């Protein structure tokens, strides 16, 4: 692999900036200064440093972000703050993009990656990867929501009504519910509860597959995740286990965060 290509996938520098740094002698390979951008390196065996910092090669990069309300799920936007703007400059790697969408007014777990194939598998309805949400409702939870959501609710899409995939729903408090979805329609959770005659006051995505939003991860913050974590996000959980997790760690979420 070319040295400049190796570095471009592991740092936030542009190709031009990397070329300048390589030619200035800021890069070493196995202890030897390398000044040619097209020099060959072996990602699996060669020890590369940039400005004295070891550069560890990874084919793909994954971040788990605790997205706050008011930030849009996009890679870039000329007017609004995006989830990639929350990353530190050194983590804004090429080709990073959010996995799926989380509405602007919804907080919680959002994955960001440059692994497009796995990201597509995670968000495609045909793969049935579950996303779990904690909803704070205006009115008390009703037991008939369970059968209504499970049967596949009709939501208006454009000029017609379309049926949602079956969704699981469980109550964990008088006005708190956990939902399991296998698709990601626009404002889907809010629209489903509205169709059932209720209103979602606050919404938090707490889990994807078996990968949970860490209770100690503050809003606006994020952490890198690795292969084992990504694999767990592709394996579905039992909604009762998610309910227990939410009841223990997130039932007072909006009180703690001042909402």
d(CA 218, CA 85): 16
For the chain, give the mean pLDDT: 93
Q: What is the pLDDT of residue 157?
A: 82
Task: Identify whether residues 233 and 251 lie together within a single domain.
Answer: yes
Helix residue spans in 129-226 (DSSP H): 144-150, 188-195
Quick check: 205 and 58 in contact, CB under 8 A? no
Strand, coil or helix: 192: helix
d(CA 207, CA 214): 9
pLDDT at 257 over 70: no
Q: How confident is the model at residue 54 (pLDDT cuts 50, 70, 90)?
A: very high
pLDDT over 70 percentage in the chain: 98
If one counts the domains in the chain, the total is 2
Task: Identify whether residues 96 and 30 lie together within a single domain.
Answer: no
CB-based burial of residue 66 (10 Å sphere; 0-12 exposed, 13-18 middle, 19+ buried)? buried
Quick check: 178 and 242 in contact, CB under 8 A? yes
Taking alpha carbons only, the member of 77, 57, 73 closest to residue 65 is 73
Task: Identify whether residues 40 and 70 lie together within a single domain.
Answer: no
Tokens of 128: 């049935």
CATH number of the domain that residue 106 is part of = 3.30.2350.10
Range scoring the smallest mean pLDDT among 6-15, 62-71, 128-137, 212-221: 6-15
CATH number of the domain that residue 28 is part of = 3.10.290.10
Q: What is the per-residue pLDDT across 159-193, written as a single tens digit (0 to 9) for each?
A: 888 999 999 999 999 999 999 999 988 899 999 99
Task: Identify whether residues 49 and 73 lie together within a single domain.
Answer: no
Task: Identify whether residues 104 and 30 lie together within a single domain.
Answer: no
pLDDT over 90 percentage in the chain: 79
pLDDT at 259 over 60: no
Set 85, 103, 115, 216: catalytic member: 103
Task: Identify whether residues 148 and 246 lie together within a single domain.
Answer: yes
What is the span of the domain harbouring residue 165?
62-256
**What is the value of pTM for the model shown?**
0.86
Taking alpha carbons only, the member of 164, 232, 216, 172 closest to residue 193 is 164
Task: Identify whether residues 168 and 191 lie together within a single domain.
Answer: yes
Q: Is the dihedral of CA 81, 83, 84, 85 positive or negative?
A: positive
Tokens of 101: 């969408």
Q: What is the per-residue pLDDT across 57-89, written as a single tens digit (0 to 9) for each?
A: 888 999 999 999 999 999 989 999 999 999 999
Range scoring the smallest mean pLDDT among 21-35, 54-68, 152-166, 210-224: 152-166
Annotation says 229 is catalytic: no
DSSP character at residue 95? T
Task: Identify whether residues 180 and 241 lie together within a single domain.
Answer: yes
């Amino acid at each position: 692999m070319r040295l400049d290509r190796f570095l471009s996938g592991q740092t936030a520098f542009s190709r031009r900036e990397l070329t300048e740094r390589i030619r200035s002698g800021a890069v070493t390979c196995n202890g030897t200064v390398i000044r040619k951008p097209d020099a060959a390196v072996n990602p699996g065996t060669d020890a590369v440093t940039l400005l004295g910092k070891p550069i560890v090669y990874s084919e793909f990069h994954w971040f788990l972000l605790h997205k706050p309300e008011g930030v849009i799920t996009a890679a870039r936007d000329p007017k609004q703050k995006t989830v990639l703007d929350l990353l530190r400059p050194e983590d804004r790697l090429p080709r990073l993009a959010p996995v799926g969408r989380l509405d602007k007014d919804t907080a919680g777990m959002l994955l960001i990656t440059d692994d497009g194939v796995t990201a597509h598998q995670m968000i495609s309805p045909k793969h049935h990867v579950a996303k779990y949400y904690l909803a704070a409702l205006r009115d008390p939870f009703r037991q008939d929501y369970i059968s209504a959501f499970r049967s596949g609710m009709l939501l208006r899409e454009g000029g017609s009504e379309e049926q949602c995939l079956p969704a699981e729903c469980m109550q964990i408090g008088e006005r708190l519910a956990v939902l399991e979805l296998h698709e990601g329609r626009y404002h889907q959770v809010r629209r489903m509860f509205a169709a059932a005659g209720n209103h979602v006051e606050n919404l938090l995505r707490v889990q994807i597959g078996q990968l949970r939003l860490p209770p100690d991860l503050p809003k606006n913050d994020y952490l890198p995740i690795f292969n084992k974590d990504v694999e767990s996000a592709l394996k579905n959980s039992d909604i009762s286990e998610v309910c227990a997790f939410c009841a223990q760690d997130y039932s007072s979420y909006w009180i703690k965060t001042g909402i």
